[in-house]
Amino acid sequence: LFEKLLSVGRRRRARAMKLRWREAFYVLNPQKDLITTETTFKEKFACEDGWRGVCGKAPSKEEVESALEDHDLYVYCGHSNGSRYLPGWEIRKLRGRAVALLMGCSSGRLKTEGLYPAHGFVNDLLIAGCPAVVANLWDVTDKDIDRFCESVIDHLKNGCSLNKSVAQSRDKLRLPFLNGGSPVCYGIPGVAFSTKAKDGHNSNGHDWCDKDEKDASDTEPEKSLDKRSASSKRQASGKTTSVASAQKSCRRIRTSEKKEKTETSEAPRQKSRIRRTRSTQSRTKRG
């Protein structure tokens, strides 16, 4: 029973970070003042299969909640981090699962207040259950961060992991140190997306694996369990041999100690015997 539970947990952990590319929601230019950003991404987001979102208007509270709970990717292209549409204290109550790309200025900046730990909108998303968040630490220019966001989306679509997508997209900016150093990844950086068709996925939306991948994931825990059992047997045998050798060494030490005690106790007796013999010899010579 324990081995079955262990294999199920490993299978869930192996599939948990495989997200679906077609399950995405975007918020594009909600304040209607980023015209270049809207023209850059409007057709691109609309052509993506399965993507839904809001363009040129503010999203509702229900739309943001659905974007974090019912989708695997949440792209925000606007000012700041979008907390005005859904505050952080309400986000913490959600059961989020989406990887968030917050491309606003200072969207990932954390605030410090005295001796209390730093807090921010990113922490609220992670507490809600979002596996990873990409956000900016300071203010950036709109055209440069648009190039970064476009490059990250292209890398993710091609199957690249999130941390590699962020690292490889910094060189596409005109100011790779000023603007390219602002985006950082919070959470689990190794998440990746799949563009395969989804057949028979569960309610959580993470079970998109094919039959071959499922069979591989089923056999991998069994192989690892066999390896662990063999290693545990080896360790047990090694422990028994080590215990036996330790017992033998202890017996040798005890016997050596006993010999030393007997030798030390017999030494003064031998000395007294030698003295007695010498005294008897001297008396016989005198007589």
Question: Is 105 annotated in the active site?
Answer: yes
Q: Which of 47, 55, 77, 105 is the catalytic position?
A: 105
Distance CA 143, CA 215 (A): 45
**Residue among 55, 30, 34, 25 at smallest CA distance from 43:** 55
Q: Burial letters for 15-47: b for 16+ Cβ neighbours within 10 Å, e otherwise?
A: bebbbbbbbbbbbbbbeeebeebbebbbeebee
Q: Which amino acid appears at position 109 of this protein?
A: R
**Residue among 98, 77, 73 at smallest CA distance from 27:** 77
Distance CA 29, CA 54 (A): 8
DSSP string, 191-237: -EEE-S---S--TTS-----HHHHHHHHHHHHHHHHHHHHHHHHHHH
Which residues are catalytic, by number? Answer: 105
